[in-house]
Amino acid sequence: MELQITDVAFGGKGVARANGKAVFVPYVIDGEIVSANITRERKKFLEAELESIVTPSPHRVEPRCPYFGRCGGCVYQHIDYEHQLALKWRQVKETLRRIGGLKEPPMRPFIPSPVEYEYRNRITVHVRDGVIGFFWRESNKLLDIERCPIALNEVNRQLAELRASRPRDGHYTLRASASPRVFRQANDAVAAAMLDLVDRLLGSATGMLIDAYCGAGFFSKRLRGRFGKVIGIDWDQHAIASAREDANENELYIAADVEAELGARLRSIASASGEGNNAVIVDPPGTGLSKTILETLMEYQPTQLIYVSCNPATLARDLATLKQSFRIDSITPLDMFPQTAEIEAAADLHA
């Protein structure tokens, strides 16, 4: 059937309407008229596959990757970069409205990636029965991949080496630099922009900084100079060991569950003399913050809370709670992963 695409939802699928229901179609652009086949009928919506484009969008471009459309990694290579950002910006705003209950989310402009391809400093490939690559989209079947155009050349060189070595079945993380095996932001240029942003947002805060989910101290290392005390918490022992390596006397890194440790640390801030101007950064995994952690943050109310998120849906869910105790000053999306559906964002909250 012919469909008028009115929007592109978070995750990358185009949205249209047919038979009184929403229809989701991948690899289309808002404003396009397309011909699509309905592949699945659900209670509340339909799923379709693109057959042909009747009226293309002026934002349509040629995907650079031969695996695009099959590989589960990228969803936006057919859209020019500026429009990718416009769509993602709208997706964040809509999510904050719908799930976060924020009528007018204080959205800042997108921080773009200076490079649209060749940015990933690490990829994880899977090997099974001689097939080396990524998963097909919406499948657990493996797609054989020779080269990934969103990865740095060095990462692709390692992929070629791995392929030549006839590896055993398993998962292999290929990294552009021999960094320790701990979490590291995947796009160096956007990671640097994120540090600048968080540094700027923290303005004149100088008291104590708690860096929750600190990894190897990505934020703490940048900020340690201006805070009297920095406490990093992460349950990854290797990350904490790496953070401790060059720690100053004002830095403390604790290998623990944030859920168990955050309350005690916030209590010690609250009882310390000269409180005020204290800040907490949280950078949790995609699942967001637990109920206990939200309650702890609301009970002890640090002066400023920076919430760095890799999942707009859980960010919105958590802001819906946090807004009872904090004022939300701004939400800045960052494009850590061009061509993909992923969105990173930093929210700035004040007690």
Ligand X SMILES: C[S@@+](CC[C@H](N)C(=O)[O-])C[C@H]1O[C@@H](n2cnc3c(N)ncnc32)[C@H](O)[C@@H]1O
307 is an interface residue for ligand X by CB under 6 A: no
77 is an interface residue for ligand X by CB under 6 A: no
Q: Which of 215, 302, 312, 338 binds ligand X (CB under 6 A)?
A: 215
Q: How many Cβ atoms are within 10 Å of 283's Cβ, its own excluded?
A: 23
Q: How far is CA 37 from CA 10, 23, 57, 227, 263, in A?
A: 21, 10, 20, 58, 53
295 is an interface residue for ligand X by CB under 6 A: no
Q: Which of 235, 241, 247, 325 binds ligand X (CB under 6 A)?
A: 235
30 is an interface residue for ligand X by CB under 6 A: no
126, 133 contact by CB (below 8 A): yes
How far, in Å, CA of 268 to CA of 111, rounded?
A: 35
How far, in Å, CA of 175 to CA of 193, rounded?
A: 21
18-23 CB contacts, 8 Å cutoff, 24+ apart: 18/46, 19/46, 21/45, 21/46, 22/46, 23/47, 23/48
State the nearest-atom distance from the C-beta of 328 to ligand X, in Å. 21
214 is an interface residue for ligand X by CB under 6 A: yes
Region of residue 276 (left: phi > 0; alpha: psi -120 to 50; beta: else): left
State the nearest-atom distance from the C-beta of 288 to ligand X, in Å. 10
How far, in Å, CA of 160 to CA of 146, rounded?
A: 7
Strand order in the sheet with 33-41: 2-4, 33-41, 45-55, 21-25, 14-18, 7-8
47, two tokens? 């799923």
Q: Which residues of 45-58 are buried (b: 16+ CB within 10 A; e: fewer)?
A: ebbbebeebeeebe
State the nearest-atom distance from the C-beta of 219 to ligand X, in Å. 6
37, 65 contact by CB (below 8 A): no
283 is an interface residue for ligand X by CB under 6 A: yes
Stretch that binds ligand X, among 7-15, 68-76, 168-176, 182-190 (CB under 6 A): 182-190
Stretch that binds ligand X, among 98-106, 159-167, 183-191, 320-328 (CB under 6 A): 183-191
185 is an interface residue for ligand X by CB under 6 A: yes
213 is an interface residue for ligand X by CB under 6 A: yes
How far is residue 200 CA from its own chain's centroid? 20
State the nearest-atom distance from the C-beta of 127 to ligand X, in Å. 25
Q: Which residue is nearest to ligand X (CB)?
A: 215
State the nearest-atom distance from the C-beta of 121 to ligand X, in Å. 12
Site for ligand X in 241-260 (CB under 6 A): 257-259
Q: Which residue number, 30 or 344, has a Cβ lying nearer to ligand X?
A: 344
Q: Which residues of 155-174 are buried (b: 16+ CB within 10 A; e: fewer)?
A: bbebbeeebeeeeeeeebeb
Q: Which residue number, 30 or 283, has a Cβ lying nearer to ligand X?
A: 283
Stretch that binds ligand X, among 164-172, 211-219, 264-272, 295-303 (CB under 6 A): 211-219
Residues β-bridged to residue 4: 33
Q: Which residue number, 137 or 224, has a Cβ lying nearer to ligand X?
A: 224
Residues belonging to the active site: 310
205 is an interface residue for ligand X by CB under 6 A: no
183 is an interface residue for ligand X by CB under 6 A: yes
234 is an interface residue for ligand X by CB under 6 A: yes
Stretch that binds ligand X, among 11-19, 119-127, 234-242, 299-307 (CB under 6 A): 234-242
Q: Which residue number, 193 or 239, has a Cβ lying nearer to ligand X?
A: 239
Site residue total, ligand X (CB under 6 A): 19
State the nearest-atom distance from the C-beta of 260 to ligand X, in Å. 8
Q: What amino acid occupies position 243? A: A
Structure letter (DSSP) for residue 68: T
Q: Which residue number, 36 or 293, has a Cβ lying nearer to ligand X?
A: 293
263, 296 contact by CB (below 8 A): yes
Q: Which residues bind ligand X (CB under 6 A)?
A: 183-185, 213-215, 218-219, 233-236, 239, 257-259, 283, 285, 310
